[in-house]
Structure 1
Amino acid sequence: MGGKIDCYLDCASPYSYFAFLYLLKNRAALKSHNVDIEFIPVFLGGINVATGNKPPSTLPAKGRHSTHDTARAGKYFGAPKVKTPSFFPILSLLPQRSMVYIKRHFPEPKFESAFAELWVAMWEQHLDISKPDLLSQALERHFSAQQVKEIIAGANTQEYKQKLLNNTQEAIDKGAFGCPWFWVHNEKGDEEPFFGSDRFHFMWEFLGLPWSDLMLQHNSKI
């Protein structure tokens, strides 16, 4: 067995957070089967524009359902405090560019802890991290004040603006219409796309991994 999961995420997507948490939870098991994970920051707004997709808040029926579904998913994935903030949706360019910068300049654990912090700040603490001062506040939980200044400055350079654009176009070229988007490589050299935080069982099948399906228990009182 073996393979790789390229995971395209945006902090503006709570389901990206759920997928992120689930993959981290299962990283050791995946590693035991020689399956690697790479988290890749993208701009969900750009994906939506390119594909004609729209966030749930712009479609009344979808938005009403999302209220229930986000709460249920948050509880299942271990993030029960997740709730849509009043300022949603945000323009996530600055935080996502910051993640691209951090991924390039800091060790993987730092990058992952910072990415997790963005979701906590936005979806649990309701900080509008599209604003530089509130983004800095969140990042300072993991970096020094000077490092945060360097991160924000770096994120605003043309190099990292272009890098986020490239990541986003890469996801679009692989068929992405939302986040989380996965491009999965198996040991046979085959590649397939997967979407959402509720398709991991299909992913495990594609990778040839042993897994157990959900099971409904009998009522022992009958």
Structure 2
Amino acid sequence: MPRFPTPSTLTSTQTTHLAPFNILHNNCAIDTNCDWDHSISLLIRCLSLYLWCHLNHPENRQNGRQASLYSYIAFYHIIKNQERLAAHGVQIEFVGPFPSSCTVNWVTLSISIHPILLGAINAASGNKPPWTLPAKAKYGNFDGRRSSVRVGKPDITTPDSFMERSMTVLPLRVLHFIKANYSDAVYQTAWHWLLHCFWEPPNANLTKPDVLVRALADAPRQYPGDTKDKLFGEADVKKIMEGAATQEIKDSVRAKTQEAIERGAFGAPWFWVVNDEGKGEPFFGSDRFHYMYEYLGVPYQDIAILPPQGKGAKL
């Protein structure tokens, strides 16, 4: 079960963000501030949801770094509900914002996931992680366990030497490179696999380049799944590691972080949800999906107390 660090060992939180865009719902057209063009198709509703999760904190130690348990929980909730969301006309794309000047004939719900630098978010917002308050840190052990079990990830556990292992700048850059150079499906699988490696036994220390290389080499083509096929070949892993060290990728991480700051993000997982009227609102936390679904008009079953069952039942 998750074991949260004491307040003396943690210093930051998590976050998310959205790039600017305009939706012309009735005309089925979308104009966004992106650097590529293409045409997509359109259903009756135009819904966009962008999710920025994170795996790590910033590059400078003074701001602290921290991997986000609740971002993993939010990520997995989305993954395991993909088919059901699709049945309601909700398409999930693990890609960046829509292209500039693109004609849209088909978009319902788009989810874009970006790793970001969290210490910068905390510094800009003045936020502090809940673990800095002893009472919240103690409660976090209960809440983390309950949340993990409820989402279907009972094996989640906080790694030993958590603060050392959570300095995951390199995995963050790796994910940015994969996002820029591989398909949506590969990016989604890489996200899920690295989160699994970090949060579930044996809790790989992804801060070490050789361990990260091994994790990428071991990544299955589908996760979860029984396939023995690998997601990346040896040449791919080499290209990814080299690409993650480039200035372009470093700048990409900083740019996404700045976008999050400008959107008012103060933690993670942070969602920006746009409904079919083109109105956007922020949502924070891994337990706010019912609010998001209501805002988007997606049918869902809310928590409700059931009447007693059986002979002597009284209403």
Measured against the shorter chain, the TM-score band is: over 0.9
**How far did 1:45 drift?**
2.9
TM-score, normalised relative to structure 1: 0.93
Q: Distance in 1 between matches of 2:191 and 2:111?
A: 15
Match among 257, 281, 289 for residue 200 of structure 1 = 289
Structure 2 counterpart of 1:145, one-letter code: E
Q: Does 1:132 align with 2:209?
A: yes
Matched with 1:119 is 195
Larger CA deviation: 186-195 vs 207-216: 207-216
Q: Distance in 1 between matches of 2:149 and 2:256?
A: 30
1:61 corresponding residue in structure 2: 135
Compared CA separation, residues 56 and 123, structure 1 to 2 (3 A)? farther
Moved more, 59-68 or 186-195: 59-68
1:112-150 deviation line (CA, Å, top 9, x unaligned): 111111111111122221221222221112322331222
1:90-122 per-residue CA deviation (whole Å, 9 max, x = no partner) reads: 222211111110011111111111111111111
- Select 1:78's aligned residue among 145, 152, 177: 152
Structure 1 contact 53–177 (Cα < 8 Å) conserved: yes
Question: 1:216, CA displacement in angstroms?
Answer: 2.2
Asked whether 1:178 is paired with 2:302, we answer no
CA RMSD of superposed structures (Å): 1.6
Cα distance in structure 2, aligned partners of 1:40 and 1:29: 23
Q: Is the 8 A contact 1:87 1:128 kept in 2?
A: no
Give structure 2 stretches of 5+ with no counterpart. 1-44, 56-66, 91-107, 220-231
For residue 87 of structure 1, the aligned residue among 149, 152, 161 is 161
- Which whole-Å CA distance do the structure 2 matches of 1:198 and 1:217 have between them? 21
Match of 2:72 among 12, 17, 31: 17
Aligned: 1:109 with 2:198: no
From 170, 177, 191, the equivalent of 2:280 is 191
Q: CA deviation at 1:160?
A: 0.4
Query: Within 2, Cα distance between the matches of 1:95 and 1:48?
Result: 20
Query: Aligned in 2, Cα 1:59/1:86: closer, same or farther, shift over 3 Å?
Result: farther
Q: Distance in 1 between matches of 2:173 and 2:136?
A: 29
Equivalent residue of 2:114, what SS?
strand
Deviates more, 1:81-90 or 1:55-64: 55-64
* More helix per residue: 1
Structure 2 residue corresponding to 1:27, chosen from 66, 82, 103? 82
Structure 2 residue aligned with 1:213? 302
Deviation of residue 219 (structure 1)? 2.6
Greater displacement, 118-127 / 29-38: 29-38
User: What is the match of residue 100 of structure 1?
Assistant: 176
Q: What per-residue deviation string (whole Å, max 9, x for no partner) do you get for residues 160-185 of structure 1?
A: 01101111111111111111111111
Letter paired with 1:8: W
Q: Highest CA radius of gyration, 1 or 2?
A: 2
TM-score after normalising by structure 2: 0.67
Ranges in structure 1 where 5+ consecutive residues have no aligned partner? none
Mapped partners of 2:119, 2:240: distance in 1: 22
The separation in 2 between residues aligned to 1:106 and 1:135, in whole angstroms, is: 18
Q: Distance in 1 between matches of 2:126 and 2:208?
A: 26
Q: Percent identical across equivalent pairs?
A: 41
User: Which residue number in structure 1 is paired with residue 30 of structure 2?
Assistant: none
| 8 A contact 1:70–1:83 mirrored in 2 | no
